[in-house]
Amino acid sequence: MSDFEPTIVAFFCNWCTYTAADLAGTSRLSYPHNIRIIRVMCTGMVDPQYIIKAFLEGADGVLVSGCRPGDCHYINGNYKARRRIKLLKEILPQFGFDQQRLRLTWIGASDGIHLAEIMRTFAGQIKALGPSQTKLKMVI
């Protein structure tokens, strides 16, 4: 399926990764258009249900990205996010989701270049994995 273009939902924290995405934009860096960014105030507010919903609605990949350890605007939201991602990486594979489809990264506000690289790598990996089953089939 060479013409497959994945849909990737990305939850970016307002203070670091979203700012990095802004920086990438103002620096005229390009990254794949497959990524739909949702700005959240902190990765610590990304309830597992948002990620589950994204997958069940047919997202091929979900990326959660926040501040580097120690940089969280709310002190420890990113550590809480890490536990939730760990939890989901344990639950979702049981139902046949490849755990590579769910990723967590830390990207600082000044890392525009890094952000563009990560986006390219992730989009490439998801493209290689092929479309998610939830995209092709009816989900009850």
Partner 1 sequence: MTITARIDMREQNPLEALQQFFAGILKLEDITAILVPQRLPTKNTIMPTLVTDASFLERVDPLAPSFPMNAARIASRLTRKPMGGKVAAVLRPCEIRAFIELVKLKQARREDILLISVDCLGALQNREYSKFAEQNGTESTLRFYKNVIGGNINEMEGVEFATACKACEYPVSENADIQIGLYGMKAGESILVKSQTEAGDHILKKMNLSEINEPPSRQDAIKTLISQRTGYRDEMFVKTREASDNLDKMTAYFSSCVNCYNCRVACPVCYCKECVFVTDVFNHDPYQYLQWATRKGIIKMPTDTLFYHITRLAHMSTACVGCGQCSNACPNDIPLMELFRTIAHKTQKIFEYEAGRSLDEKPPLSEFREDEFKEVVGID
CB of 26 to partner 1, least distance (A): 23
Residue 23 to residues 2, 16, 53, 63, Cα–Cα distance (Å): 31, 10, 29, 19
| Encoded tokens for 91 | 């639950």
Beta-bridge partner residues of 36:
9
Among 88, 101, 111, 127, binds partner 1 (CB under 8 A): 88
Site string for partner 1, 31-60 (x = CB under 8 A): -----------------xx--xx--x----
The residue to which tokens 């420890």 are assigned: 76
Query: Which residues bind to partner 1, rule: CB under 8 A?
Result: 48-49, 52-53, 56, 69, 76, 79-80, 82-92, 94-96, 103-106, 118, 121-122, 125, 133-134, 137-140
